Chains A and B, each alone.
Chain A
Amino acid sequence: MIKVENLHKTFGKDVKALNGLSFTAKDGEITGILGPNGAGKTTCLRTLYGLLKADEGIATIDGISAVDNPIQARAQLGIFPDKFGLYERLTAYEQIDYFASIHGMSGASKKAAIEQILKDLEMEELAHRKTQGFSQGQRMKVTLAQALVHKPKNFVLDEPTRGLDVMSTRILRDYLNRFKEQGHCILFSSHVMQEVAALCDRVVIVANGKLAAEGTPEELCQLAGETQLEEAFVKLIGSDEGVAA
């Protein structure tokens, strides 16, 4: 479970990135974060990773504070970052192995976990190729595999479908659904409304560094009096008065 409570973060003197943001991403659910550019999504996620320190408020992952104990909190997380790069001189297998070792795995259990993730993502034939020259979809798979190899209880994805073709997006979607069924907590930020509507159990709309609205996609549509999530989103971020809980 990922819990964010009353996060405040100011950069410099007057750039308020987060202004009292609170939400909870529950286990066994896919929670989507929606927000316009500059709403504070990346800042919020970076606070979760323990890269940034909030001025006020708390962020916990399975009850472990990301501020006070970032290394232990990160151990509970699988991260698919905003900008992901690969070690181009390593093979896909070596790269996944590297991240598995960083998460403290070793020996036969590590090997089994890597084989499993390669199989799950249907990337066995990629495994022993150097990642240089991989297509966007292949790169996504490697990044996904390295984020999930240690079977984290919580999984955070920052705009994962950007640049992916339909097939890769479907694989990702399937995988996230399977993960959800196993009782994991998935936090997902995106700009693609259809995807959020199709995939997420709950949606958190962030605007100006705070929560604008929260609920299932249907609830949000109802709240805004629209039939499409996109219209609801525009309305909700445009007029936070009256709707923002």
Chain B
Amino acid sequence: MSAGFGQLKALIIKEFKEAFRDKRALMVAFSMSLLAPVMIMVMSKTMIKEMVDKPTVYAEISGGEFAPKLMKEFRDENIVPLSEASENDQRIWQKRGIKITIPDTYGSDMVEGRVINITLSADYSDKPSLSPVRRIKDVVRDHARAIGYKRIIMRGIDVRIMKPLNIVEQDRSQPSSNAMMISIMLGLYLLMGAFMSGLSIAIDSSAGERERNVLEMLLCQPVSTLKIVLAKLTCSASISVLSIVLMLTVTSVSIGFVDLTKIGATFNIDAFTFSALLILLVPICILAAALQLFFSFQAKSFKEAQSTVTMLIMLPAFIPIALTFIDDRPAWLDWAPVAGQSIIMEDLFKGLPVNWAALAVTSLVTIVMSAALVLTLAKKLKSEKVVMALS
């Protein structure tokens, strides 16, 4: 028994030595865990800026001189005539072409209480124009309402008569779920990291070894193929776990540079979330390594392994993206590998209590699937078909 363990230990140590000396594969493995936090930081900063800031809107306003009060309201909301823009801004906003036309009868119509048509002309399908258009509409609507209320009060009527119903909104979302964008991104990156980080190492230690003619020698040694597969699995899965730990750590640091209070959100990865995420993702790392080894051991060459396995492995990584499009999820998804973990991760980020039973079941299903893959692969490596493919 101890001799058998010594063998496994030697196999594992060798895999780790080779993996850690393969600088390129390591770089690929850890690049995601370093890039993802940066992406999250940059994207959330841009998002917050868009939500909070009111950048200047330049519009071609004609007839502004007929409605000085409305013009003041526009200016208060940072909506100004195009003529005041700098040369550079003028070029951009000219192209966008947002036009506001105030009729010359504005003053007399106002006095006589007629409906005044203010024309807003813009390309509504142009995404950058959407926010300016919304802001212009808001200003006009608020200004019109203010005048309307004044007219009613002047006639001695309570303005509340205009509002027979009031909706009281209670948002039950936790402060952390306001940072939904961040958690969705982080969740995707974590799952991708679990799936992709060990990829190049798994391919190198299987298809790569076959191509370098070292696999045959190993298969001729007095060691079971199960141990060989387990050693390679351990190495590849450990690299993925390491990559995830790195990603989580760097994210917790980098998210500190984003001022989430501006949008009333909080986001931090505390010790509990950290460990819960790890418990959740370790089985995924194992499943990913098992899948990668399973397919790349059967590829005819290193190149084939690289192209087909990368494609195959991408599929499960897209499960969480697909999940966001399913509103009413069937119950079995809670237990399915990847989907189950993805759902629990979502709850974790929302600050909801973790469904430990679902976590246990989905982890178990994932581990059982990995074990089945490992056993099948160990059996396949003993088959003559694999041996014949060696030369």
Known contacts A52-B387, A90-B17, A104-B7, A85 near B224 by CB under 8 Å: no
Are A103 and B221 in contact (CB-based, < 8 A)?
yes
Are A102 and B391 in contact (CB-based, < 8 A)?
no
Q: Does B156 contact A (CB under 8 A)?
A: no
Q: Does B220 contact A (CB under 8 A)?
A: yes
Q: Contact flags (1/0) for B219-246 with A, using CB distance below 8 Å?
A: 1111110000000000000000000000
Are A86 and B214 in contact (CB-based, < 8 A)?
yes
Residue tally, chain A, CB below 8 Å to B: 34
Q: Does B3 contact A (CB under 8 A)?
A: yes
Are B212 and A85 in contact (CB-based, < 8 A)?
yes
Are B216 and A83 in contact (CB-based, < 8 A)?
yes
Q: Does A62 contact B (CB under 8 A)?
A: no
Distance between Cα atoms of A83 and B210 in the complex (Å) = 11
Interface stretch of the complex, out of A71-79, A191-199, A229-237? A71-79
Are A99 and B221 in contact (CB-based, < 8 A)?
yes
Are B11 and A102 in contact (CB-based, < 8 A)?
yes
Q: Does B18 contact A (CB under 8 A)?
A: yes
Q: Which residues of B contact A101 (CB under 8 A)?
A: 6-7, 9-10
Q: Which residues of A contact B328 (CB under 8 A)?
A: none
Q: Smallest CB–CB gap between B14 and chain A, Å?
A: 5
Are B391 and A82 in contact (CB-based, < 8 A)?
yes
B375-391 interface (Cβ within 8 A of A): 384, 387-388, 390-391
Q: Smallest CB–CB gap between B13 and chain A, Å?
A: 8
Q: Which size bracket describes the interface of B in this complex?
A: 20 to 34
Known contacts A89-B17, A90-B17, A101-B6, A81 near B11 by CB under 8 Å: no
Known contacts A90-B14, A94-B17, A71 near B223 by CB under 8 Å: yes
Are A81 and B6 in contact (CB-based, < 8 A)?
no
Distance between Cα atoms of A53 and B11 in the complex (Å) = 26
Q: Which of B7, B18, B212 is within 8 Å of A102, CB to CB?
A: B7
Q: Which of B7, B18, B217 is within 8 Å of A79, CB to CB?
A: B217
B182-235 interface (Cβ within 8 A of A): 209, 212-214, 216-217, 219-224
Q: Smallest CB–CB gap between A102 and chain B, Å?
A: 5
Question: Most chain-A Cβ atoms within 10 A of its Cβ — which of B22, B216, B390?
Answer: B216
Q: Smallest CB–CB gap between B306 and chain A, Å?
A: 18
Q: Smallest CB–CB gap between A42 and chain B, Å?
A: 8
In the complex formed, the residue of A with least CB distance to B11 is A102
Distance between Cα atoms of A94 and B217 in the complex (Å) = 16
Are B221 and A46 in contact (CB-based, < 8 A)?
no
Q: Which residues of A contact B18 (CB under 8 A)?
A: 87, 89-90
Q: Does B21 contact A (CB under 8 A)?
A: yes
In the complex formed, the residue of A with least CB distance to B20 is A89
A50-107 interface (Cβ within 8 A of B): 50-53, 71-72, 74-75, 77, 79, 81-90, 94, 97-99, 101-104, 106
Distance between Cα atoms of A75 and B222 in the complex (Å) = 5
| 13 new A-B contacts at CB < 8 Å, known A81-B217, A88-B212, A90-B17 | A42-B391, A46-B387, A50-B220, A51-B220, A71-B224, A74-B220, A81-B220, A83-B216, A87-B18, A101-B7, A101-B10, A103-B222, A104-B3
Q: List 21 A-B contacts (CB under 8 A).
A: A52-B387, A53-B384, A71-B224, A72-B222, A74-B221, A82-B391, A84-B214, A87-B212, A89-B18, A89-B21, A90-B14, A94-B17, A99-B221, A101-B7, A101-B10, A102-B222, A102-B223, A103-B222, A104-B3, A104-B6, A143-B217
- Chain A residues with a Cβ under 8 A of chain B: 11, 42, 46, 49-53, 71-72, 74-75, 77, 79, 81-90, 94, 97-99, 101-104, 106, 143
